[in-house]
Structure 1
Amino acid sequence: MAKSYNNGLPNVVVLGAGGAGSKVVHDLSKTLNPAQYNLVLVDRRPYYVHWPAMIRMVVTDSGHLEDTALIPLDKNFVNGNGTLVVGTVTSIVPGEKGGEIVLASGEHIPYAVLVLATGSTYEGPLALPDTKPETSQWISQWRSTFAKAQSIVLVGGGAIGIEMAGEIKDVWPDKKLTLVQGDTSLLNAAYPDKFRSALVSRLKARGVELVFNDFVDSIPAPGATTVTTRNGKTLQADLVVATRGARPNTELIKATFPDAVDARGRVKVTPELEIVGHPGVFAAGDITDIEEQKQVAKYPGHAAVVAANVVSELAGQKPTKEYKKQPEMILITNGVNGGAAYVGMLWGIVMGDWFARSMKSKDLLVGMARKGLGYA
């Protein structure tokens, strides 16, 4: 029996089932006629990773988030309109019109239109394996590692580092915890000083030592006693954890479309989110060169544009729907009961613990993510 994407109909292939790719597929599954087109989602995992929950998940078993935040993708296709292919893509082979992707298994999947949503790569505790059993073991090992450590250094003071510091202090308030950040404050200059300073005050109040304008270039294996920063500062640490920001996962794209990837590893897109110089190939999410902070909350906006323009492309029309950048907003947790939020509207609104706890800190938006993927 022929596979559902090998039935002679044109394929729309989406690479990546993260925050952007899953939403593109959800939108397209509502609009594409399955009698005319196949919708194919390709990812190396059979489940969606709800990244905001991963930071707590690798520190503690509180809430048993591994049971709810690794979400199967089977209900993401509206009315079952689509196919999930689990596998690693080894190459993209463009043709004069359309092309094909090649999987590590040797399988070839042709495409009429391609959507790239390959997301980011992480390091440290968030560098998850692919399968559920491997991921469960990974999570268990990190929980044990954190529990055994007496002095911990986090390397990177963006959202990952801040939130991990809060989770560690929730479980072990007396452990020595230091956060090293290469900037003058937490986060980055996309956010106003008043908000960044509020986050600094909150971590200091919990006993976190902050080291600014400095770096740890090499992460030692667990069990070391100290680590030395680039500026020569020696820090007590029997565990050093990389909490630096994610990097765009674009090596495969660069190998295929080298002219379309900039020096930062981001994919150059038009206002219609089509890859510059490559009609019929679209991009969404973390990998795009749109000058905005990379956040899953923005990606329904990406998905709406991409889905509409894919439909236009299939109809032989020029894509015309343009993406409009959204105001910068961020909600940072500080453990289960605290955090702070910034909304880049009006004069720039900063909100504190009550808002963070009510909106995110307690359940880390797991319920919202599950609902978005078709689960109650």
Structure 2
Amino acid sequence: MAKSYANGLPNIVVLGAGGAGAKVVNALSKTLNPAAYNLVLVDARPYYVHWPAMIRMVVTSAGKLEDTALIPLDKNFVNGNGTLVVGKATSIVPSKDGSGGEVILASGEKLPYAILVLATGSVYEGPLLLPETKEETVRWANEWRDRFDKSHSVVLVGGGAIGVEMAGEIKDSWPNKKVTIVQGDTSLLNATYPARFRSGVVRGLEKRGVEFVFDDYIDALPAPGSASVTTRKGKVLQADLVVPTRGGRPNTEIIKLSLPGAVDANGRVKVTRTLQLPGYTTIFAAGDITDILEQKQVAKYPAQATLIASNITSLLAGQSPAKEYKKQPEMILLTNGTGGGAAYVGMLWGIILGDWFARMMKSKELLVGMVRGSLGY
């Protein structure tokens, strides 16, 4: 059977179905004329991964998040305007005249594009290094749940949002289990957020018995079966389970290899204010991979998606993209298990909210219902 996007029409291709890519596709599917263009979404998974729920999913079976937070993508195309291709991109080949190019898939298929949107997201480690099928992901989650259950003393390597939220999840399931966070900074999170907010997050976890080692690092994970781990400064910590909880790294390797000069020294894709790549006018980028100097958070990506969809519409009409991205205020909403957490809103004097707000907005349900609704479920 012929592929729906192999009909001779120009393809608008979006690489990555995460928080940025899925939103770009949704926005484009509302306005793109299917009689003139094909909209194609490429991802290694046939579903959307709601990452904030994955931290809880790999710790506990409570809520059966594997059934609700891995969300099919079929209804994300408005009026069915678009095609999902499940596959891995291995390279990008721009045309010599800059008018488009091809995406090469691991299957060998060459997928032509008139316009390309890069939204390849982040690559995580440890329990969040998820497989690419639901069956394997469920098995993976069960394996990690078993590891947490059997452990007596857990060390979390990294005190950003992932480490903070995982500590809270562990304490929910096993209140007496020893949990230590090792963080290279002098407090949790980073200096984007004021010291009073960061200190409050520390206090919230201290009340639950979480311990901390600040201004230190763990450079190598111990072999399975070890009973301790030693930090860079020589501190020996009791640990029969050491879990990397550092933030993700930008998933830009094929972009770096395919598009000379497109990726900076930090692995981020360089973008202009119109979210186009300098020197590649028919390629846009969004989400975690961009070099925009702001915290990478899914709540910011609908604005990027709307902008990109508008600029693509202009480009297809023979006009220069005019919409320019403006950085958004910094906000963060953290869970501390199902019953607590903290929030910061970087507006006015810097608004800090506590357990009641986090519980109401995120901690209890992890926004699963809202995200499912945004994807048509």
**Structure 1: distance between partners of 2:184 and 2:137:** 30
Cα deviations by residue, 1:257-289 (Å, 9 ceiling, x for unpaired): 130111100011000000111111000000000
Deviation at 1:29, TM superposition (A): 0.2
State the SS of the aligned residue for 1:262: coil
Match of 2:256 in 1: 254
**Letter paired with 1:2:** A
**Letter paired with 2:219:** D
Match of 1:324 in 2: 326
**Structure 2: distance between partners of 1:221 and 1:52:** 28
Match of 1:145 in 2: 147
State the SS of the aligned residue for 2:372: helix
C-alpha contact 1:221 1:239 (8 A) present in aligned 2: no
Match of 1:17 in 2: 17
195, 198, 204: which one aligns with 1:196: 198
TM-score (normalised: structure 1): 0.99
Deviation at 1:219, TM superposition (A): 1.3
**Structure 2: distance between partners of 1:338 and 1:276:** 43
Match of 1:43 in 2: 43
**Structure 2: distance between partners of 1:260 and 1:89:** 17
Gaps of 5+ in 1: none
**Letter paired with 2:44:** R
**Structure 2: distance between partners of 1:90 and 1:349:** 44
**Structure 1: distance between partners of 2:170 and 2:214:** 20
Deviation at 1:220, TM superposition (A): 2.0
User: Percent identity at matched positions?
Assistant: 74
Match of 1:84 in 2: 84
**Structure 1: distance between partners of 2:314 and 2:222:** 51
Match of 2:32 in 1: 32
**Structure 1: distance between partners of 2:295 and 2:238:** 33
C-alpha contact 2:330 2:346 (8 A) present in aligned 1: yes
**Structure 1: distance between partners of 2:110 and 2:6:** 10
Q: Aligned pair 1:119/2:121, yes or no? A: yes
C-alpha contact 1:89 1:104 (8 A) present in aligned 2: yes
Q: Aligned pair 1:209/2:199, yes or no? A: no
**Letter paired with 2:310:** A
Q: Aligned pair 1:272/2:274, yes or no? A: yes
Match of 1:239 in 2: 241
**Structure 2: distance between partners of 1:65 and 1:139:** 10
Match of 1:303 in 2: 305
**Structure 2: distance between partners of 1:94 and 1:184:** 45
Deviation at 1:317, TM superposition (A): 1.1
Match of 1:157 in 2: 159
**Structure 2: distance between partners of 1:285 and 1:318:** 22
Q: Aligned pair 1:358/2:346, yes or no? A: no
**Letter paired with 2:196:** K
Gaps of 5+ in 2: none
**Letter paired with 2:133:** T
Match of 1:67 in 2: 67
Deviation at 1:162, TM superposition (A): 0.1
Residues paired across the two proteins, number: 375
Deviation at 1:210, TM superposition (A): 0.5
**Letter paired with 2:165:** E
C-alpha contact 2:19 2:301 (8 A) present in aligned 1: yes
Match of 1:338 in 2: 340
State the SS of the aligned residue for 2:261: helix
**Structure 1: distance between partners of 2:292 and 2:162:** 21
Cα deviations by residue, 1:191-210 (Å, 9 ceiling, x for unpaired): 00010000011111111110
Stretch of structure 1 that moved more, 119-128 or 96-105: 96-105
C-alpha contact 2:92 2:259 (8 A) present in aligned 1: no
Cα deviations by residue, 1:156-202 (Å, 9 ceiling, x for unpaired): 00000000000000000111110000001000000000100000111
**Structure 2: distance between partners of 1:83 and 1:189:** 41
Stretch of structure 1 that moved more, 308-317 or 83-92: 308-317
**Structure 1: distance between partners of 2:374 and 2:80:** 15
Q: Aligned pair 1:312/2:291, yes or no? A: no
**Structure 2: distance between partners of 1:209 and 1:2:** 58
**Structure 1: distance between partners of 2:219 and 2:91:** 32
Q: Aligned pair 1:349/2:351, yes or no? A: yes
178, 181, 188: which one aligns with 2:180: 178
**Letter paired with 2:154:** I
**Structure 1: distance between partners of 2:4 and 2:110:** 14
**Structure 1: distance between partners of 2:62 and 2:203:** 26
Match of 1:104 in 2: 106
State the SS of the aligned residue for 1:347: coil
State the SS of the aligned residue for 1:63: coil
**Structure 2: distance between partners of 1:92 and 1:202:** 46
State the SS of the aligned residue for 1:6: coil
